Amino acid sequence: MTYSCNMILTNKAISPKQPQCLSCAIIQGDKQPLGGTIIETDFFHAHQDMAYPLAGMVILASKRHVRCLDELTEDEAKDYIDLLCRIRKAQREALGIEHVYYFYNEDTFHHFHMWMMPRYEWMTELGRSVESVRPILVYAREHMSDETNIAHVEDCVQKLRSAL
């Protein structure tokens, strides 16, 4: 079954066990991501990850409920690649981010979304390559939620928005 944003937000035609759709809530303006929207097009919405306060960690989410990259229309796919490139350029030029890990999963019932996780020098002590992602995210959630870092993250969102 394909779910529309309206169906998810109103709990119509969905199982009571399925959670509210966070992406729909953000797109509809019911939830405000940290620092606000970075960039939005007809097909996609980009914002700072809400769970992990890593400066420059962007989620690029489809506005339409699709799970897989191959489910994007031709126009969506073109917009997606263009946005990924533009956001990545802004991460490099506005925030000085030299390396980014990209990842997404297809085992969700909601919006296709790509995480663009910056790789900072301090992360090396938590490992290299893909095996370091989970420890970094846990560390960020547990140790980087203080007011000073949150203000820094919000400042980085503004810098990305201005660069785009």
Report the alpha-carbon distance of residue 20 to residue 133 in Å, rounded.
26
Q: Give residue limits of the domains in the chain.
A: 5-163
Distance CA 161, CA 37 (A): 8
| Predicted TM-score of the model (pTM) | 0.83
| Range from 36-40, 73-77, 82-86, 103-107 carrying the lowest mean pLDDT | 103-107
pLDDT tens by residue, 4-38: 333 333 333 333 444 567 777 777 787 888 899 99
According to the model, what pLDDT value does residue 6 have? 36
Tokens of 121: 């020098």
The mean of the pLDDT values for the chain is 85
Domain range 5-163, its CATH number among 3.30.43.10, 3.30.428.10, 2.40.40.20, 3.20.20.210: 3.30.428.10
